[in-house]
Amino acid sequence: MTNTPATAESGDEQVWFPIARRNLLRAAGASAVLFGMGAGTAVAQSDEDDEGETPTENGNSGGPEPEDLDPIFGYASAELNPCGGEADEDCFEAFELSVRPSHEVELHIDLPEELFAFTAPGVLTQTEIDEINAAVADGVVDASELTNPDFEVTVTLPSGETEETEESEETEESEETEETSDEEQTLTLTILEIAQLLAETTAFHYEPAGLTVAPGDVVLYSAETPDHGVSAYHERHGRQNRVPDGVGPISSPLVPVGGYWLYKFETPGVYDFYCPPHQIFGMVSRVVVTDGDVPELSIEETGRPPEETNIFPLFLQGLDPNLPSSAAVLDSEALTPENIVDEGSVSWETVVEEYRGGD
């Protein structure tokens, strides 16, 4: 993972929407489970579960047991994720057979660090920002779209950022980074290079963004970068209901980097999820649970819909990588239940390419 600046606090206000009576009745069924435990704790099951535990097929011990996967809160762990980073596909085997995941969704931030240095106020003129944004909008940067693509822009890096550059000096002499007599670090990029970095920015996302699973499948959510969670659009989160009928307000905690969250999907249907800190940047995903047919997307107006604006340009002081809002992601052709079932999984890149090419 890359070293990524912390996100600004969202100005997202907490809005409570009245729960429709019908939904209240439905929610009552979940409340006994919901109020009796915290994230990652075991659901009280029948006594026999506690007896006669059998050794796992591969001899693993530790880690979650089947009853640890709560129907609302799944199972969260700050322990080392066997599938974190560049792990092999057989990493799933590190989990006991009865809770072994068969799919992985990674929680990502893709924001080049060099680009972030150019977002300080006053570094780029408004004209330069507008030109760069226009060149990046379709995702393909062409030098001819810029008046002065080779114009060089130099920024002074905050003193705290010198460490990494020094580290890389021995192996790879950076042409772009120079040390001044005051030991200040500067970084120079051309307008074209800044535009290219902006086009590479795919920001906050789940990978894949769309996933098909079978009822009973366990999905492993891997926190590759900090400050992410997985929450269902649900009336009890004050949101539109975007989970199958009878499914509760599924939610992970914030998953620490290197940790993971397991969730077992049981009820067939379409599930829409958002990352609480990053929904305003379009970080949402869809899981389709099916035995083979294509379930209908059902949306109930029980609360706030997905955000229709992506505020990422505010985060970048006006530079705009032209990324979809939460609403646009969930309305994309790439993430229709039909397409997700057809493809099995749909990458974030596919969603972004559709959006950038869709003007």
Cα–Cα dist 21/281, whole Å:
32
| 277 close to 256: Cβ distance less than 8 angstroms | no
Counting every residue written for the chain, the total comes to 359
Q: What is the x/- site pattern for Cu ion, positions 275-304, by CB under 5 A?
A: x--x----x---------------------
Q: How far is the CB of 6 from Cu ion (least distance, A)?
A: 12
| 221 close to 230: Cβ distance less than 8 angstroms | yes
205 binds Cu ion (CB under 5 A): no
Give the closest residue to 263 by CA, choosing from 8, 74, 114, 133. 74
230 binds Cu ion (CB under 5 A): no
| 44 close to 323: Cβ distance less than 8 angstroms | no
Cα–Cα dist 53/273, whole Å:
34
Q: How far is the CB of 222 from Cu ion (least distance, A)?
A: 13
Query: Which DSSP string do the residues of 211-243 spell out, in sequence order?
Result: EEE-TT-EEEEEESSSSB--EE--GGGTB-B-S
Cβ proximity to Cu ion: between 132 and 203 the closer is: 203
37 annotated as a binding-site residue = no
Q: How far is the CB of 73 from Cu ion (least distance, A)?
A: 18
Q: How far is the CB of 280 from Cu ion (least distance, A)?
A: 10
Give the closest residue to 205 by CA, choosing from 351, 311, 46, 87. 351
State the number of binding residues for Cu ion (CB under 5 A): 5
Cβ proximity to Cu ion: between 228 and 239 the closer is: 228
Q: How far is the CB of 258 from Cu ion (least distance, A)?
A: 15
83 annotated as a binding-site residue = no
* Binding window for Cu ion (CB under 5 A); candidates: 164-172, 203-211, 336-344, 349-357: 203-211
Q: How far is the CB of 203 from Cu ion (least distance, A)?
A: 9
Q: How far is the CB of 174 from Cu ion (least distance, A)?
A: 30
Cβ proximity to Cu ion: between 100 and 278 the closer is: 278
Cβ neighbours of 175 (radius 10 Å): 7
Cβ proximity to Cu ion: between 7 and 186 the closer is: 7
Give the H or E element holding residue 186.
Answer: strand 185-190
228 binds Cu ion (CB under 5 A): yes
Footprint (CB under 5 A) of Cu ion, residues 250-279: 275, 278
Q: Is the dihedral of CA 316, 320, 326, 330 positive or negative?
A: negative
| 219 close to 83: Cβ distance less than 8 angstroms | no
Cα–Cα dist 76/262, whole Å:
6
Cβ proximity to Cu ion: between 124 and 275 the closer is: 275
Cβ proximity to Cu ion: between 264 and 278 the closer is: 278
Three-state SS for 286? Answer: strand
Cβ proximity to Cu ion: between 103 and 278 the closer is: 278
283 annotated as a binding-site residue = yes
* Binding window for Cu ion (CB under 5 A); candidates: 158-166, 212-220, 225-233, 284-292: 225-233
Which residues fall in the annotated binding site for Cu cation?
Answer: 228, 275, 278, 283
Which residues fall in the annotated binding site?
Answer: 228, 275, 278, 283
Q: Could you list the residues that contact Cu ion (CB under 5 A)?
A: 204, 228, 275, 278, 283
